[in-house]
Amino acid sequence: MSFSERRATLLRILEIEKSIKDIEHSKEYLTMKRGLKTLENARSGGGVVIVNSPDDLDSTVEMRKNSADVEECISKYKAKMQNNAEKINKLTLEKASLRRELLNVQNR
C-alpha cells in the first residue's frame, strides 16, 4: 500500500469518525434519546409526563404515565433510534475494516 493509499484510508477513517460523532451529537438523536429515557423512567406513580412527540420532535405531547400512549411513544422512539443505531453500526464496521486493512499492510 502506497503512501497516498494509506493517507486516503486514514482520511476516510477520520470522515467516518466525524459522521458517527455528527449522528450521536445531532439535536434529533439527543432529543430522541432524552425522550426515550424520560418515558422509560416514568413507569411508576401517577401523573403526567411531557416529552417531544416522536413524529414531530419540535412539538411536545402530554400523556399519563401508565397509559397505552406511553408504550406507543416508546416503540416509535425505539424504531427511530434503531435506524440511527444501524447507521452507526454500518459506519463502525467500515471503520474497523479500514483499520484492519491499514494495520495488516503495516505489519508486512
Max CA separation in the chain (angstroms): 65
Write down the pTM of the prediction: 0.80
pLDDT given for residue 107 in this prediction: 58
Q: Where exactly are the structural domains of the chain?
A: 3-101
Element housing 60 (H / E): strand 60-64
Residue 5, pLDDT above cutoff 60? yes
pLDDT of residue 105 exceeding 60: yes
- Following CA atoms 89, 94, 99, 102 in sequence, which dihedral angle do they give, to the nearest 10 degrees? 180
pLDDT at 102 over 80: yes
* Vertex 77: Cα angle to 75 and 78 (nearest 5): 65
Q: For 55-94, how does the pLDDT look when each residue is reduced to its tens digit (9 = 90+)? A: 998 999 999 888 888 899 999 999 999 999 999 999 999 9
Nearest Cα to Cα of residue 93 among 2, 11, 13:
13
pLDDT of residue 82: 96
Please report the pLDDT score of residue 67 as a whole number: 84
Instruction: Tell me the mean pLDDT in the region 26-46.
Output: 87
In the block, cell 403526567 appears at 48
- Read off the pLDDT of residues 37-52 as tens digits, 9 standing for 90 and up: 999 888 766 689 999 9
